Each structure stands twice: as structure tokens, then as C-alpha cells.
Structure 1
Amino acid sequence: MNILKRTCIAGAVAACGLAGGVTAATAENVLKLASFVPPVYILHEPIFEKLAADLNEATGGSTTIEIYPSGELGKGPVEQYKRAVSRIAEISYGLPGYTSSIFPKTLLIELPGVTQGHEDATAKLWKVMDAHLRDEFKKTVPLALFVTPPAVLMMTEKPIRGLDDLAGLKIRVASSSAAAVIEAYGATPVPMPANKVYTAMSTGVVDGALMGSDSLLIFKLIETTKYVTTNLPEMPTTIFLVANEEAYNELSDADRAALDSLTGLDISQRSAAGLAKFGEIALGKFAGMDGTETIVLSDEARAAFDAAATDAVTSLVADFDANGMNASQILADMKN
């Protein structure tokens, strides 16, 4: 009996039960969903639990999802994609930026000048999915692919009011795309998973972080941040929900069609919208705290950031093209 195909019997409901009250007692197919964030995470109930409940209903209980939050199937968000590939989990939630070398095409969406808001960015990812991105998801099937709110700079001690303020500072980034831009801004990029940023900021390992505003609350960075700078050139962070390809193909045609109907662009847009709304809440809460400051870049300051970002993107895309990735065409297809 393979990992996917198993029948839960009475008395084993505790082991096979689903978060959100969905029972797997009569399920033939149980898909383990690995998440590195806790159940209080903003998307846990409206995305993970809802997908589990909807799939249970759509398949008449023959295929269900067990949610394993907080890294229960393995610690460390960097390994989330590997967990799906190796079938430690049939479904995994994570960031392609943590394994940037696998997803250079997908991460083009994070470059400045490509997107205008979370809805636009998510739509562009799915617009080019079949033509350009799907082949990067080897041994997996993308169920959701979306972005965080545009990144802001969260700083511990030094306010960022202009490009020169970043000179020599160490800034956390999530991906190679973000690293190239931060380096063009004059700072030193420090790649790091989100769950390590709180400690890194608290101990001075980094001077700040480039992250979506939702991270102020999700990862409690509101406690380590004194200054937030907004109106930067737009750079979202990409997030995936993927299924192991073998497990996906083992589903019956009807159950696979049910899963397909519940995933894709719609669940991606709902996920992005949820994070964007939470990002607004986080910025509002931060602004109301004593001893903090939200900085909105002036038009003049923003122009300097834009110029540096444009130079970085031009150089990065040229390198990609020279190495045969045809990044120029992918970006054109995203935008047109």
C-alpha cells in the first residue's frame, strides 16, 4: 500500500482526522499537507482548512487532506519544496525563493517594474504558467501560486528615507531576485527564511528586512521594527502550494478533477487577497505604536530607488538571456 492510498478505520480517526472537523474515517486517499506556519496563520483556516473541507465534500469523502502545521512533518521552511518532491507530504506550502536556483523563471515576478499589486502579480503568474513556469515545478503540480503584499523595509535602528541611507547595511531577503536589487541599492543582501528574521533583527545579524507588510504580524516583526519604509519599487514575494506529482496522478480521474476545480487561479487570488488585507492591518497597528515611524518615500527619493532597480533588472535579465532562459520573453508575456 503506497503512502497516498490508505483506509482509515474506526478508532484511528485521531490519526487520520482533519483540521477544521473534516473526518477522514472513510477516506481511501489521504493527502498530507505540510505547512511551516502555525494554525493561527492568517491563511490556515480560509485556505488550508477550506480546501480540505471542500475536497472532502467534492469527492464524497474518498479523498481528504490532513493538515500538519508548524513544521510537524519536518522543521525548516527551506525544505518545504523538497518535502513535496520526496513525498514526505503529498501537499506542501512554501516559498520558491528559498530554493531560488530551481525557480528562476517564477521569481521574475518579484522584480521591480513587473507588477502592480498582489492581484495583478498573481494573475500574471497564472497567465504564463503553462507556457513558461510549469516545467520548473518538477515532480510536483502547482495548486496555488501567489504573492505577498509588496515588500517594505523594516528597520531596527536606522530610518530609510533615501537610497544613500541603505549604504553598507545588511538587509534580509527571501530570494536571489530580491538580493540582486538590494545589492543595487547599496546594501548587503542576507538570504534568510522568514522564521529566522525575528532573531536576526533582535541580535543585530541584520539591520533590517525586505518583506511583505503582513510579516509584521505573522512573524512578530512588529516587536523588532522601529522604522518601516513604504513606496518602494514594487517587489512581492512568491508563495506556492504544490502537490507531489505521483500522488496527484494516483487519484481517480473524478477526484483529480475535483482537486483541479478547487485549485489554480481562484485559490491563489483568495490567498493573495488574504495576505494583502492582513498587511494593511499590520501597517495600521504599527503606525499606532509609540516610538515607531512609517516613512513614505518622497517622489524624489522614489526616483532614485527606481533608477537603481531598473539598472539591476536590466543587468539580471541580460544575464538570464545570455544563459538561455529567455527572461525577456517571459517578462514580455507576463506584462502583455
Structure 2
Amino acid sequence: MKFKKLALAGAMAIGLCSAATAAETLRFSSFEPPVAHVTKNILTPWAEDVAAASDGELEIQMFPGGTLGRSPAQQLKLVEDGVADIAWVIPGYTPGRFDQGSVSELPFMIPSSAAGSAAMWSMYEQGLFTGDYDKFKLIGIMVSAPNGLATIAPIREPGDLNGLNLRAPGPTMLSAIDALGAVPVGGITGPTIAESISRGLIDGTFTQWGAIETFRMGEVVKNYLALPLGATPMLIVMNKAKYDGLSDTAKAALDKFSGAAFSERFGKSFDANVAEARERTRAANPIAELVPDEALARQWRDALAVATTDWIANTENGQAIYDALTKSIADVSN
């Protein structure tokens, strides 16, 4: 009898040990520093929520600060190669992929991260984002708050940009820069913007206050034009084979906090941080901000209209995608 009790106790201990080690660990890559807003206040809490909902079947380990790959341009490949299971991806760094989502880069299209992110997920649910979008488990399809223009020299009218070297994080915004008579400069990722400005490689960049703070641009830019000159599309992608191999409970935990739920979490938090970052950055740095009146804003809208016309003409199903996103933004904004 004593032996049976010992055997039973041993079996229970083995069972408990197995249960304790049964959790699947997913590797989540972020190019941002661990204290930056998106990684600290959006991605990390999301990972914790998913793990808590998985009944012990999932752990999500964050790898911030480029631990698995430093460049934002590497993140998609990390997932494709299985180095990371999940990653935060900026599609503009991989031109030719996810191009349908570049509609969000069009000037005067996206009013806020919250509205834009909700509308972008709606586009995917409507089947309007296909191709590369279908190759991954999509946790989220989002956009930044609209980008203004951060520069060294003061910029007021579109003509002031003639001949300046300007950077943007995506091909559609680069096209807008070209339409303004400036020289579009691609291939400069967020972490290298401040250095590129200080070295004279670029005169400014399309960006928003959260990125100015995160990537320490406040130390080099002196002026900011507050116009919605296009948002930066973003994705949270997961290796599809990895997702397919998970248990139903683990999949359910991921699905619960993905899609529309992730868009809402991301957009609200992103917009709030941009407003707070603006106050912090302007308090710490002598940056002059110009908020154009209606007449001046119309000048910019007219000067940039060709970017929208060209995008529609050069994108398969472009007019339908543009019209659908316009409607989706109106729907979620009401």
C-alpha cells in the first residue's frame, strides 16, 4: 500500500511537472526599444492578455530593441524564416508587398490612428486586401496617426519644399514628396532618421510626434507642419504554420485579442500617445509648429492631389480600394 501511494504521488508530480512545462512559447519581435510606447504599452500588454486567456497553453516572449533583428525592414523576413513567430511590420520597408494597404499613405486620407486602424481591418474583412495578406496569420492591420512634416527649415507653402531632400516611410508618401517638387529619399528607417538629418542627408521627414519622441528627432528638427499628409500602414503578423499548429484553446486566445479588437486597442493608445508626445517634445525642444488655416490647407491638398490620382491609376483595383477605404473611414467615424 505504501508503495502504491508513493507511485501515485510520483505520477501526480510528473503530471504537474508536464502541465507546468506544456505552454507553447511564441517569440514576438519588435524593432522598438522596450520602453517605447507601442512596445511597452500596446504589444507587451497584448501578449500578457493572450497568455492569460490561453489557460496556460501559451507564453509570448517579447524581443524588443531589435534583439532578433535590428532593422524594421528585417521584421517580415524574421517571421517568414521562423526566427520570430510574431512581429511588428512596417510594409513600406518591403515595397511590392502589401501594396493594397498603401492607400492609407495617401495625403488627407487618414484622420486618426483609431479611425484608420478600424477602417483598415474592415478592408481586410471585406476581402479587399489579398495576396501577401493571405500568407500570414494577421493579428492586426493598423495605421499611425497622420504624418505631418518635420523639417530643419520652416515650411509654409508647398513651393517651400522645392529641391529639399525629404524622407518618408513608404512608397506612396515618397510619391507625394515628388509631387511637391522635393527629392524623395527612401531606405531610411525610423532609428536612423535623426542621424540622417544631422549629417545633412535629408532636410526633413514625414512623421508624427510619437516617432519624433521615440527616435529622438526633437534634437535635430526645428519645425513641424501639422497636416494629415498620409499615415504609416503597419501590421502585426504571425507565422501561419506556427498558428495552425497550435491547440484550439491557444488559437482562441490569440483570436480573442486580434483583428478588430487589436485595431481598437492600438488606435486609441497610439492617438493618445501622439498627443502626449507632442506636449513632451515641444516642452523639451524649440520646435515651431504651424497649423495651417483652411485656405493654406487647401493649397497643400491641391498640390498633393496628383499623388492620389497616380496611386489609383497605378494600383490594380485602385479606385475600388480608395472608395472602400473612404467609406470605411466615414462609417467608423460616425
TM-score (norm 1): 0.87
Query: In 2, are the aligned partners of 1:150 and 1:213 still within 8 Å (CA)?
Result: no
Q: Deviations over 1:86-130 (max 9, x none)?
A: 111000112111112101101111212433222221121011103
Letter in 2 for 1:327: G
Change (3 A) 1:88 1:315: same
2:77 is matched with: 82
In structure 2, the partner of 1:227 is 223
Farther off after superposition, 47-56 or 82-91 = 47-56
Aligned partner of 1:176 in structure 2 is: 171
Q: Distance in 2 between matches of 1:128 and 1:290?
A: 39
Task: Provide the residue aligned with 1:256 in structure 2.
Answer: 251
Length, aligned pairs only: 307
Q: Which consecutive residues of structure 1, in runs of 5 or more, have no partner in the other structure?
A: 1-23
> Partners of 2:68 and 2:22 in 1: how far apart?
21
For residue 284 of structure 1, report the CA deviation from its aligned partner. 1.9
Higher radius of gyration, 1 or 2: 2
Structure 2 gaps of 5+ residues are 1-18, 328-334
Give the ranges of 4+ consecutive aligned residues of structure 1 lying more than 4 Å apart after TM superposition: none
Classify 1:281/1:46 alpha carbon distance in 2 versus 1 (closer, same or farther; 3 Å). Answer: closer
Letter of the structure 1 residue corresponding to residue 206 of structure 2? L
Between the two proteins, what is the percent identity of the paired residues?
27
Measured after TM superposition, the shift of residue 271 of structure 1 is 1.5
The aligned counterpart of 1:265 is: 260
Q: How does 1:54-65 map to 2 (within 5 A)?
A: 54-65=49-60
Structure 1 window deviating more from structure 2 (200-209 vs 42-51): it is 42-51
* 1:134 Cα deviation after fit: 4.2
Return 245-254 or 25-34, whichever deviates more: 25-34
Superposed displacement of residue 30, structure 1: 1.1
User: Measured at CA, do residues 25 and 198 of structure 1 come closer, stay the same or move farther in structure 2, by a change above 3 Å?
Assistant: farther
Equivalents in 1 of 2:47, 2:30: separation in Å? 13
Tell me how large the CA RMSD over aligned residues is.
1.7
The C-alpha deviation readout for 1:282-313, integer Å capped at 9, x for no partner, is 22234335643111123332212101211221
Change (3 A) 1:289 1:89: closer
Which of 192, 199, 223 is the equivalent residue of 1:196?
Answer: 192
State the distance in 2 between where 1:176 and 1:326 align.
18
Moved more, 69-78 or 271-280: 271-280
Of structures 1 and 2, the one scoring higher in RCO (CA 8 A, sep 6+) is: 2
Is 1:39 the counterpart of 2:34? The answer is yes
Post-superposition Cα deviations, 1:303-324, rounded to whole Å, max 9, x if no partner, equal 121012112211221122xxxx
Find the counterpart in structure 1 of residue 129 from structure 2.
133
Which of the pair is proportionally richer in helix? Answer: 2
The answer on 1:66 being equivalent to 2:24 is: no
- Is the Cα contact below 8 Å between 1:32 and 1:66 reproduced in 2? yes
Match of 1:240 in 2: 235
